[in-house]
Structure 1
Amino acid sequence: MSAGPLIVVVLLGVLAGSATPALAGRFLAPGSRDLRPGLLGPGSHWARPGLAVAGGVVFGGLAAAHGAEPALPVFLLIAAVGLALSVVDLTCLRLPDPLVGTTAAAGTLGLVAVAATGGELLRLPMAAAGAAVSLTVGLLLALLPGSRLGFGDVKLATALGLPLGWLGWPALAWGLVLPHVLGGVWALALLAAGRVRRDTALPFGPAILAGAWLAALIA
Structure 2
Amino acid sequence: MIPLLGDLLTGGGAAELTAAVLLLLGGAVFLICALVLALIDLREHRLPNRIIYPWALFTLALLPLLGLLLGDGSAVLRAVAAGLTWALVFLGIRLVHPPSLGMGDVKLVLVLGVYAGFLGWSAVGAAVVLSCLSGGLVSAVLLVTRRASRHTAIPFGPFLLLGTGLALLLS
SS in 2 for 1:100: helix
Q: 1:140 and 1:191, CA in 2 relative to 1: closer, same or farther beyond 3 A?
A: same
Give the one of 57, 77, 97 matched to 2:29.
77
- Picking from 135, 140, 143, the partner of 2:92 is 140
Q: Percent sequence identity over matched residues?
A: 31
Correspondences of 1:174-193 after superposition (within 5 Å): 174-193=126-145
Asked if the contact 1:164/1:212 (under 8 Å) is kept, the reply is yes
Moved more, 84-93 or 111-120: 111-120
Residue 5 of structure 2 corresponds to residue 67 of structure 1 = yes
Q: How far did residue 129 of structure 1 move? A: 0.9
Q: Deviations over 1:160-219 (max 9, x none)?
A: 111111000100112222212111111111122222222111111000001101211233
CA distance in 2, matches of 1:79, 1:66: 18
TM-score by length of 1: 0.66
Change in Cα spacing, 1:65 to 1:203, as seen in structure 2 (3 Å) is farther
8 Å contact kept, 1:75–1:163: no
Q: Which runs of 5+ in 1 are unaligned?
A: 1-61
Correspondence 1:128 to 2:80: yes
Per the TM alignment, residue 108 of structure 1 is displaced from its structure 2 partner at its CA by: 0.8
Aligned-partner SS, 1:197:
coil
CA-atom RMSD, angstroms? Answer: 1.9
* Cα offset, 1:80, TM superposition: 1.3
- Deviation for aligned residue 1:140: 2.0
Of structures 1 and 2, the one scoring higher in RCO (CA 8 A, sep 6+) is 2
Residues 1:99 and 2:51 are matched in the alignment: yes
Matched residue SS, 1:185: helix
Per residue, is there more helix in 1 or in 2? 2
Deviation at 1:67, TM superposition (A): 2.7
TM-score normalised to structure 2 length: 0.82
Matched residues, number: 157
Does 2:169 match 1:217? yes
Structure-2 separation of matches of 1:65 and 1:144: 40
Q: Secondary structure at the match of 1:217?
A: helix
Paired residue type of 2:124: L
2:116: which partner in 1? 164
2:16 match: none
- Alpha-carbon shift at residue 146 of structure 1 (Å): 6.5
Cα distance in 2 between the residues matched to 1:142 and 1:149: 6
Report if the CA contact (8 A) 1:81-1:102 is conserved.
Answer: no
CA contact (8 A) 1:134 1:158 kept: yes
Q: What pairs up with 1:12-51 in 2 under 5 angstroms?
A: none
Instruction: Name the CA distance, whole Å, in 2 between partners of 1:98 and 1:137.
Output: 23
**Contact 1:131–1:160 under 8 Å retained in 2:** yes
Amino acid of the residue matched to residue 92 of structure 1?
E
Alignment-derived partner of residue 38 in structure 2: 86
